[in-house]
Amino acid sequence: MRRAGQVVREVLELVRSRVKPGATTLDLEKAAETRLAELGVKAAFKGYHGFPCVLCASVNSEVVHGIPSPKRVLKEGDIVSLDFGAVVDGYYGDAAITVPVGEIGPDAARLLAVTERSLHAGIAAVRPGATLGDVGAAVQGVVEAEGFSVVREFVGHGIGVHMHEDPQVPNFGQAGRGMKLRTGMVIAIEPMVNAGKPDVQVLGDGWTAVAKDGSMSAHFEHTVAVTATGARVLTE
Ligand code: MG
């Protein structure tokens, strides 16, 4: 799973380097697809319940599952969430980053910083004997202290020989509640954070989830193993 995670990181960093005003989200897809082909690695998302691409690219108020398109041109001040997964020898890795396009405004910059910080708070709560509620509460605490909202309809997940395995890993919850983490478990922690209200809706393409109130949304994700000494991040 570490090897899958390393591929995911390499491809995400490559795609990040291609984000600039004037690029399309399909340009980002093509960069990811080309590098995967060079590495001889299988994409996790393409074909998953019919998803047409290797990369999810979600711009501004799009929360997750945006479909790369030649019509979607990035412009200065946008933010774009990039979610990517790969399979190596049958094992999955899954991670996401949200990237500024050129110079972004202070509100967008704060949303990105807080969302990434909330992911790290969730990771810091991971250890044997901690609960999923501890992880969710850690994420939620960081987000809500800044006046932002945690999306409820989409959650993190167990990951291993499938991309999505039990248990669900919500980005909200109560400390001490829920399943206890044990050494050897691997979970994807992935806060999706809206600058406004938490509600989302799925567009007519059947995939793209957007913030209902049109506010900006950010997404950061890591695949994380539970070890005797705490979290080991497999996608860094
Ligand atoms: Mg995921």
Distance (angstroms) between ligand 1 centre and the Cα of 71 equals: 26
Distance (angstroms) between ligand 1 centre and the Cα of 120 equals: 15
pLDDT (tens digit, 9 = 90+) per residue, 206-231? Answer: 999 999 999 999 999 999 999 999 99
- Strands across the sheet with 209-211, in order? 62-64, 209-211, 200-202
Distance (angstroms) between ligand 1 centre and the Cα of 104 equals: 26
Q: Does domain 2-233 have CATH number 3.90.230.10?
A: yes
Segment 10-33 shows an average pLDDT of 98
Distance (angstroms) between ligand 1 centre and the Cα of 100 equals: 21
* This model's pTM is above 0.85: yes
Distance (angstroms) between ligand 1 centre and the Cα of 48 equals: 12
How far is Cα 182 from Cα 178, in angstroms, rounded to an integer? 13
Annotated domain spans of the chain: 2-233
Task: Please give the pLDDT value at position 142.
Answer: 98
Ion ligand 1: protein residues whose beta carbon lies under 5 Å:
94, 188, 190
Residues 94, 101: contact at Cβ < 8 Å?
A: no
pLDDT (tens digit, 9 = 90+) per residue, 78-105? Answer: 999 999 999 999 999 999 999 999 999 9
Bridge partner list, 223:
188
Distance (angstroms) between ligand 1 centre and the Cα of 49 equals: 14
Q: What percent of the chain has pLDDT over 70?
A: 100
pLDDT (tens digit, 9 = 90+) per residue, 99-132? Answer: 999 999 999 999 999 999 999 999 999 999 999 9
